[in-house]
Amino acid sequence: MSNKLEGFVKDNKKEFEVKGPSDKLWAKIEAELDKKQQPKKSIKLYQWMSIAAMLLISVGVYFTYDYKHKHNATIEIAQVSPEFGQKEVRFVNEIEEKLDSLAIYGKDNPELYQQFTSDLKNLDAEYDKLKAELQKTPNQLFVVKAMVKNREMQLQVLQQQLMIINQVNQYKKESSI
């Protein structure tokens, strides 16, 4: 069997000698080289700049909204202390009732009513200052206590004013008799 193989190799020796790649192979290689390679899709500088600008604008809008939201949110008494929040609501309701009564009695004594309302305006202005301070202070409980105390003082002042008006009215009745 090996003799047959050796004989075949000797007979076809010229065909086995490698002269180099065939012309067909070179033609295929040239055809592949002539083809334009598709360029990689790259993001150009202006595209990077536009992406960065959009990102910067988005972050800016987010932080602007977040800053406004945090700084415009007002802190209420009930958020700091629910107990003091309930007291304030009770005092405000009683103050409104007393103010209505004072307004009715004030028709008979306009000068006295004017003086009483100026006193209440002063206390109310102090309350507004405390409310503004509540938004800034780290010791919120202290300010809340002062706010509730202010409402309590307003109620006491109104009660005293109503008592004075009642005494004045009673004095006028006794004087007229």
Mean pLDDT for the stretch of residues 69-89: 68
Compute φ and ψ for 63, nearest 5 degrees.
-70, -35
Compute φ and ψ for 139, nearest 5 degrees.
-100, 75
- Please say if the pLDDT value at position 7 is more than 70: yes
pLDDT digits (tens, 9 = 90+) for 49-72: 888 889 989 888 888 877 666 655
**The overall pTM is greater than 0.85:** no
Chain centroid, CA 158 distance in Å: 40
Chain centroid, CA 28 distance in Å: 67
What pLDDT sits at residue 23?
A: 74
Whole-angstrom Cα Rg for the chain? 48
4 burial level (CB within 10 Å; 0-12, 13-18, 19+):
exposed
Region of 20 (left: φ > 0; alpha: ψ -120 to 50; beta: rest) is: left
Mean pLDDT for the stretch of residues 14-18: 65
Where do we find the tokens 């507004």? 128
- Please say if the pLDDT value at position 138 is more than 60: yes
3 burial level (CB within 10 Å; 0-12, 13-18, 19+):
exposed
